[in-house]
Amino acid sequence: MGEIFSPGKLMLTSEYFAMDGALVLAVPTKLGQEFSFDEQDDKKSLIFWSAYHQNKVWLQAVIDYKNWQIIETNIPSSAEFILKTLKNVQSLSAIKFKNNCSYHLKTNLQFPADYGLGSSSTLMNNLAEWAEIDPFYLNAISLGGSGYDIAVAKEKSAVLFQNKPEIKYEKVNFNPSFKNELIFIHLNQKQDSREGIALYKSKNKSQKLVDEFSNLTRNILVCNELENFSQLMLIHEQRISGFLEIPTVKERFFADCPIFIKSLGAWGGDFVMSSKFEGFRDYFWGKGFNTIFEYSDLIY
């Protein structure tokens, strides 16, 4: 039996504007998705799929890949998505899902589904690595999206990413001297990114504004002083808030917080980033936000 692991991700800069080619800084998380596989000679040509969530089984399916039919499952809608994705894998791969072989495939998502760390992107990358195919193309035909999360999962590293005029990215060493001062707070819900994307797409945007976020990303990457980093994060929040014409997460939930609060990814859910201050745990706990990670606990 073989095993593959892909880390989750957090997008630190250029949320929404990534879709129009703004430069993104994203980092990998220690939590991700495991994938194990066993292949056996078998003329029945079946896929035995078991999906675990934090080591507890939630989806099981048996799929006939000669005819692409679900033989049995406990969650038909989820099994249909898996069938569609594996069918895409077959169409792209020269080595997987050929006749006279059955596959025992198991996934284990290590983080709660509402964390928004990339349950789908880690799955796509694991399957692509296993099948020796392009993870960006598999993701594009199965899910869509900018692809930054695939780059993080593939490289297991912080990346600078752009998707226009074509996908390009590079591994970077994001290791600020003040990283142990940074914290990540979960907002107790998973934001539906489609809603935010629809709002963003309804707005007219200029290349000048897209370039501004790329420049912010470059400055944030090389910043080595927490005070300057905090100021750049405040500017980033204000620019997106002004463009979308919606309040920042700090204005909504943490108006009296003494330091910056930065949304990560889709606004209004998932994680936000901040930095330590005296009594910071009591402050966030008092507002009902009990899931707080320090940088070294969460970032790969």
Q: What is the 3-state secondary structure (H, E, C) of 74-136?
A: CCHHHHHHHHHHHHHHHHHCCCCCCCCEEEEEEEEECCCHHHCCCHHHHHHHHHHHHHCCCHH
pLDDT above 80 (res 175): yes
Taking CB atoms within 8 Å and a gap of at least 24, the contacts of 220-227 are: 220/12, 220/13, 220/25, 221/25, 221/160, 221/172, 221/174, 223/176, 224/176, 224/177, 224/178, 225/178, 226/178, 226/181, 226/275
Phi then psi for 290, rounded to 5 degrees? -100, -10
Single pTM value for the model: 0.93
The tens digit of pLDDT for each residue in 76-109 reads: 999 999 999 999 999 999 999 987 899 999 999 9
Nearest to 191 by CA among 15, 45, 14: 15
Nearest to 184 by CA among 101, 280, 46: 280
The tens digit of pLDDT for each residue in 259-287 reads: 999 999 776 558 999 999 999 999 999 99
pLDDT above 70 (res 190): no
CATH T-level topology, domain 2-171: Ribosomal Protein S5; domain 2 (3.30.230)
pLDDT above 70 (res 59): yes
CATH of the domain spanning 179-298: 3.30.70.890
What was the pLDDT predicted at 189? Answer: 74
What was the pLDDT predicted at 202? Answer: 82
Where are the domains positioned within the chain? 2-171, 179-298
pLDDT above 90 (res 194): no
Residue pair 73/40 in contact by the 8 Å Cβ criterion: no
β-strands 292-294, 2-11: how paired?
unpaired
What was the pLDDT predicted at 99? Answer: 79
Locus of tokens 């912080």: 158
* b/e 98-130 (16+ beta carbons within 10 angstroms → b): eeebbbebbbbbbbeebbbbbbbbbbbbbbbbb
Which sign does the torsion angle of CA 20, 12, 196, 258 carry? negative
What was the pLDDT predicted at 205? Answer: 84
The tens digit of pLDDT for each residue in 4-14 reads: 999 999 999 99
